[in-house]
């Protein structure tokens, strides 16, 4: 059963704490992405990776960090520098990052992060 | 001004109605247009994909792109309660690696 698995489903962060969101895919896709979704604002790109050991900043990368040590995994760390982290975080993948292979994104089920 | 504008709704219609969902955009460089459907607290899934102008039909769904007006639409015929979801338009420039621009999403409720 191929797909993208995000964990945990719900996560709570204390003040000054770093938290890591997990994203694993078994679709053998080269490209992976992290989006943030806030009510009324659609999806905004945080980081993306086209290949192992390489990643690029998206539109709202400040306060976040990522790694891509394995093709299947693209964890996102929300650092204490992110002052407004409460949001729904979505991980996605595509066959490649360049057209025409990246128009179809496959999404995970998301992680809701809240601040305590 | 946002690059892509979408009325957030909510839009409520009776079962069987024809639904029209729309997005406008400001950048003529967008060439690829998509519609994603997102059920509550789930990841979006690709519904329709169109390149450049024209219409594309898939079952009860029709996607329409009017590049001269910078306007895209998604029509749902014979709407069902199972169509109740948030619909997100997304678009992409040819030159942009990895970057899809999403609208805010329109929440649709189809009442039985």
CB B32 to CB A99 under 8 A? yes
| CA–CA dist A92, A78 (Å, integer) | 17
For residue range B19-39, list pLDDT tens digits in order.
999 999 998 888 889 999 999
CB B43 to CB A4 under 8 A? yes
Asked if the model's pLDDT at residue B52 lies above 90, the reply is: no
Measured in whole angstroms, how far is the alpha carbon of residue B69 from the centre of its chain? Answer: 16
Q: Which among B34, B46, B104 has the least Cβ separation from residue A41?
A: B104
Asked if the model's pLDDT at residue A38 lies above 70, the reply is: yes
Encoded tokens for B43:
């990841």
Which of A108, A31, A103 lies closest to B90, judged by CA?
A: A103
Structure-model confidence comparison of residues A9 and B52, the more confident one: A9
pLDDT band with cut points at 50, 70 and 90 for residue A16: confident
Residue B109, preceding peptide bond in cis (omega within 30° of 0)? no
């Amino acid at each position: 059963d191929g797909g993208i698995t995000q964990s945990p489903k719900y996560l709570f962060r204390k003040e000054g704490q770093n938290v890591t969101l997990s994203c694993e895919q078994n679709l053998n896709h080269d490209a992976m992405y992290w989006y943030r979704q806030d009510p009324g604002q659609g999806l905004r790109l945080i980081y993306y990776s086209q290949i192992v050991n390489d990643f690029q900043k998206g539109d709202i990368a400040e306060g976040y960090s990522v790694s891509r040590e394995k093709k299947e995994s693209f964890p996102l760390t929300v650092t204490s520098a992110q002052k407004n982290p409460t949001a729904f975080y979505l991980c996605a993948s595509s066959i490649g990052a360049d057209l025409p292979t990246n128009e179809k994104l496959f999404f995970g089920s998301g992680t809701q992060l809240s601040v305590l | 001004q946002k690059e892509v504008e979408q009325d957030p709704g909510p839009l409520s219609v009776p079962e069987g109605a024809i639904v029209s969902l729309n997005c406008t955009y400001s950048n003529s460089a967008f060439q690829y247009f998509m519609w994603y459907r997102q059920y509550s607290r789930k990841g979006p899934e690709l519904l329709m994909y169109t390149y450049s102008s024209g219409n594309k039909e898939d079952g009860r769904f029709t996607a329409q792109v009017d590049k001269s007006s910078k306007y895209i639409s998604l029509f749902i015929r014979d709407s069902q309660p199972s169509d109740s979801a948030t619909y997100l338009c997304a678009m992409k420039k040819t030159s942009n690696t990895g970057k899809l621009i999403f609208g805010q999403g329109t929440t649709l409720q189809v009442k039985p």
